[in-house]
Structure 1
Amino acid sequence: MKKYNGMQKIILFTLFIGFSTGLIVSSVININFDKVKETSVLEMKNEIEKKENIQEVLADKKNIEDEFVNINIKNGYTCNEIADLLYEKELIFNKEDFKMIYNLMLLDIYGTGDALTKKGIISKGWKINTLSKIIISKRDKVIDILYSYGLIDDKYAFNIILNSINSNKKIVYGEKKIKKGSSNIEIIEILTK
Structure 2
Amino acid sequence: MSDGVPHVWRRGLQAAAVASVLLLALPLLTATRALAHDPGQGTDVGQARWMAFVGEHEVDVTLTTDDPALHPVELVARRAGEKATGRLTPVSEGTEHGRIKLHAEGRWFLYATFKDTRNRTAESWVAVQQGAGRNVSETRPVYLPLAQTYGAGRTAATVVLYGMAAAVLVAVARSCRGRRVPQPQQS
Q: By the TM > 0.5 criterion, same fold?
A: no
Question: Which structure: greater helix fraction?
Answer: 1
Q: TM-score range by the shorter chain?
A: under 0.3
Structure number, greater radius of gyration: 1
Question: Which structure: greater strand fraction?
Answer: 2
